[in-house]
């Protein structure tokens, strides 16, 4: 029994799963750019044996669409949760809530790698959910609530607080975890008063405070969207634009950003994120920049496990051919255009004598966009309980190496899930999945990993094919070079 009505799931290999349960009303029609509202209660028993509709998105372009498998479920009722539980008649079980990634414009909870069976098998109630993406979720409008995607996430976490006991979970033992845009969302939630008390622990994988737009910069993106559609740049004018047309215009704006990275056209905070539609520092959901909020003590009582893969940016440079096309002059020109001193490049070059220019570019961008922002969050939290990991296993598949998102099927112990081989190939080490998945489960249970917090020794747990090990201050010369 949920607060809105009864649901019936199904048993699968000793785990009970309930799919497609509404946590908010369909965000369509007059609710399109509104804050989420509760779903209408239902009579009788609602079947919960299939995923709900997935939110509109542009999809991934080749070759990324061959790497990240993303199913689509038609329909308008996107705001649903999915629950896997080892014992729906039990009580007091730890709860984990997954926030999917996808650069705030792609992704959904029906992706097979996000199946919660392994977590439930190991004693955790696992929850996944959808939230509004792109323009619907994150475009800033003067006449609509901002951060609608974050408000959807908060509504899902509120649903968990109100209902998870009915599935055997303890609402006081909720760990929220996510990757990429999901991790960036969680960093925003850590800074948001609206999310206070909705979770006790957090895990951020390959995402920190990179995505936080100043309102003026977000308004520039909205203006660009209005010009693309030939309409006024506000919610009232865009509310009746067909979904397919709006998603196409959204992609046009995103493409223009990545083609120019022009701060006068899109605003410095948006350009720094490399994404057009991101959370906005609106003075309400996000009263201030997440780093400032964390430094002031926001969520200091929430235990945090954070980390990255070792070679995040290979995901963006290798499959597209950009790494192979990077020559020494191209590398130098790119770094100069981004304000990266030559001295920083030389530190990386010294530590990687056999690296190609493309390898060096991937290493530099990995640290600038992923590793350093994660460590900025650690520094902002100062004495708060914070642990750091690094995923170092290198898949030979497509020469991705330890690229962005490679950690996901290991964390979910889902190496055999449909689509996982597109990311990590075949024959990925199950031993590593056992190790990473166990750390995530143990963190949900105890809130304390088996290694030391990051400060003062900069201790990092490194996961590799041969197992896991702690390393003190890995590649610290490269980290320090950016100072």
SS3 390: strand
CB 431 within 8 A of CB 463: no
- The single residue listed with the structure tokens 């100072």 is 483
Q: Which is the catalytic residue, given 179, 224, 312, 390? A: 312
Task: Determine phi and psi for 75, rounding to 5 degrees.
Answer: 135, 175
Is residue 180 part of the annotated active site? The answer reads: yes
**Among the listed residues 474, 480, 283, the one whose alpha carbon sits nearest the alpha carbon of residue 390:** 474
Q: Return d(Cα 286, Cα 192) in angstroms, integer.
A: 5
- DSSP codes of every residue in 48-93: -BS--PPPP---PPTTHHHHS------SS---EEEEEES-TT---E
Whether the Cβ atoms of residue 47 and residue 113 lie closer than 8 Å to each other: no
**Is 312 one of the catalytic residues?**
yes
- Whether the Cβ atoms of residue 175 and residue 403 lie closer than 8 Å to each other: no
**Catalytic member of 180, 185, 273, 384:** 180
Residues 6+ apart with CB under 8 A from 142: 219, 234
Which of the following is catalytic: 404, 437, 468, 478? 404
Is residue 156 within 8 A of residue 23, CB to CB? The reply is: yes
Sheet strands (E) in 301-434? 303-309, 386-391
**What does residue 33 show for φ and ψ, rounded to 5 degrees?**
-110, 25
C-alpha 204/C-alpha 190 separation (Å) is 11
Q: Is 404 a catalytic residue?
A: yes
Q: What residues are annotated to the active site?
A: 180, 312, 404
């Amino acid at each position: 029994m949920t607060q809105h009505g009864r649901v019936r799931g199904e048993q699968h290999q000793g785990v009970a799963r309930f799919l497609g349960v509404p946590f908010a009303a369909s965000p369509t029609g007059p609710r399109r750019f509104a804050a989420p509202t509760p779903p209408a209660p239902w009579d009788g028993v609602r079947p919960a044996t299939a995923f709900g509709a997935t939110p509109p998105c542009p999809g991934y372009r080749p070759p990324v669409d061959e790497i990240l498998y993303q199913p689509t479920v038609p329909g308008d009722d996107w705001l649903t949760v999915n629950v896997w539980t080892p014992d729906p008649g039990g009580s007091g079980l730890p709860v984990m809530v997954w926030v999917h990634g996808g650069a705030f414009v792609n992704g959904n909870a029906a992706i097979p790698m996000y199946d919660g069976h392994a977590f439930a098998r190991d004693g955790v109630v696992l929850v996944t959910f959808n939230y509004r993406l792109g323009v619907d979720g994150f475009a800033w409008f003067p006449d609509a609530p901002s951060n609608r995607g974050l408000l959807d996430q908060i509504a899902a976490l509120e649903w968990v607080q109100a209902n998870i006991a009915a599935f055997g979970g303890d609402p006081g033992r909720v760990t929220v975890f996510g990757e990429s845009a999901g991790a960036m969302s969680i960093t925003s939630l850590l800074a948001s008063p609206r999310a206070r008390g909705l979770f006790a622990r957090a895990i951020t994988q390959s995402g920190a405070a990179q995505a936080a737009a100043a309102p003026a910069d977000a308004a520039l993106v909205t203006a660009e969207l209005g010009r693309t559609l030939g309409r006024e740049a506000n919610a009232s004018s865009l509310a009746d634009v067909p979904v397919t047309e709006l998603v196409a215009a959204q992609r046009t704006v995103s493409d223009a950003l990545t083609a120019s990275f022009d701060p006068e056209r899109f605003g410095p905070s948006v350009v720094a994120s490399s994404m057009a539609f991101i959370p906005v520092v609106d003075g309400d959901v996000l009263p201030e920049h997440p780093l400032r909020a964390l430094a002031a003590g926001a969520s200091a009582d929430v235990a945090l496990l954070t980390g990255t893969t070792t070679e995040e940016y290979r995901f963006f440079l290798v499959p597209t051919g950009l790494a192979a096309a990077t020559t020494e002059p191209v590398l130098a020109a790119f770094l100069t255009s981004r304000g990266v001193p030559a001295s920083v490049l030389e530190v990386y070059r010294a530590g990687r004598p056999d690296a190609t220019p493309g390898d060096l570019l991937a290493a530099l961008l990995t640290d600038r966009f992923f590793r350093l922002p994660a460590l900025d969050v650690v520094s902002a939290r100062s004495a708060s309980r914070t642990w750091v990991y690094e995923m170092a296993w290198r898949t030979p598949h497509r020469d991705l190496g330890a690229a962005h998102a490679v950690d996901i099927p290991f964390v979910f112990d889902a190496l055999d899930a449909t689509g996982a081989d597109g990311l990590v190939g075949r024959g990925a080490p199950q031993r590593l999945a056992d190790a990473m998945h166990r750390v995530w489960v143990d963190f949900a249970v105890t809130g304390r990993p088996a290694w030391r917090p990051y400060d003062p020794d900069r201790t990092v747990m490194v996961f590799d094919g041969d197992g896991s090990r702690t390393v003190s201050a890995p590649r610290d010369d490269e980290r320090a070079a950016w100072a």
